[in-house]
Amino acid sequence: MKKINEKESMQEQIQEILEALTEEEYVFLKKVIEAERKLLYRSKPLGINDNIRKAIEEIVK
């Protein structure tokens, strides 16, 4: 039971972190994670900085 509570508390804390972000920030976070995940299999993810830069430029205009 304690474990479940701790887990829910972790999820709630993450939820709070996400909700504290603005809409733009949330979309950017999502895009960063997606971009990183796509290149996760590469030890040197070439082009990742360009992908993140494009994302921030698209989102914050």
Partner 1 sequence: MIFKRLIIQNFRQFQGEQEIVFSTENNKNVTVIHGFNGSGKTTLLNTFTWLFYATFSPDFENQELLETEATFAQLNINKELVTSAKLYFEDRDKTYMAERKQIVTKTLDGKRKVLQSPTLTVHFHKLNGEWEESRNPQDLLEQLLPKPLSPFFFFNGERIEKLASSDAYKDIEAGVKILLDIEVYDRAIKHLNGEIIRTLRREIGKRSGKKGEQVENEIEQLEEQQDNINKKIQQSKARLQKIEEEKKRIDEILLENPELRLLQEQRQNQEKARENKKKESVETEQQLAQEVSQHGYLILVSNVLQKAEEILDTAYQKGELPIDMKRPFVRDLLEKQQCICGRELAPGTESYSCVEKWHDRVGVGSEELEKAVIRAKGSLPSLRERRTRALEKIGILQEKRGEIEEEIIKIGDDLSEISKKIGGRELSEDYDYGKLEKQRKKAEEAISELNLEIGRDSQKSKSIGGDIQQKERELNTIAKSDLQGQLAQCRLDTVNNVREAIEKIRYLRQKELVEDISERLNRIWNKISIKDYKAQFTDEYRLNLVKKIGTLEQQVSGTSTGEKQILSLVFIGSLVDKARSIYREKNKSQKNINQKHLFRGGLYPLVIDSAFGQLELDYRRDVAHLLPTLAPQIIIFVSESQWRGEAEKSLISNVGSQWILECSTPKERGKKITLNGKEYSYIVESKDEFECTQLVEVEV
* DSSP annotation string for 1-61: -HHHHHHHHHHHHHHHHHHTS-HHHHHHHHHHHHHHHHTTT-SS-TTHHHHHHHHHHHH--
Provide the minimum distance between the beta carbon of 33 and partner 1 in the complex, in angstroms, as a whole number: 6
Residues of this chain that interact with partner 1 (CB under 8 A) are: 3, 6-7, 10-11, 13-15, 17-22, 24-26, 28-30, 32-34, 36-38, 40-42, 45, 48-49, 52-53, 56-57, 59-61
Please state the closest distance from residue 16 (CB atom) to partner 1, in A. Answer: 9
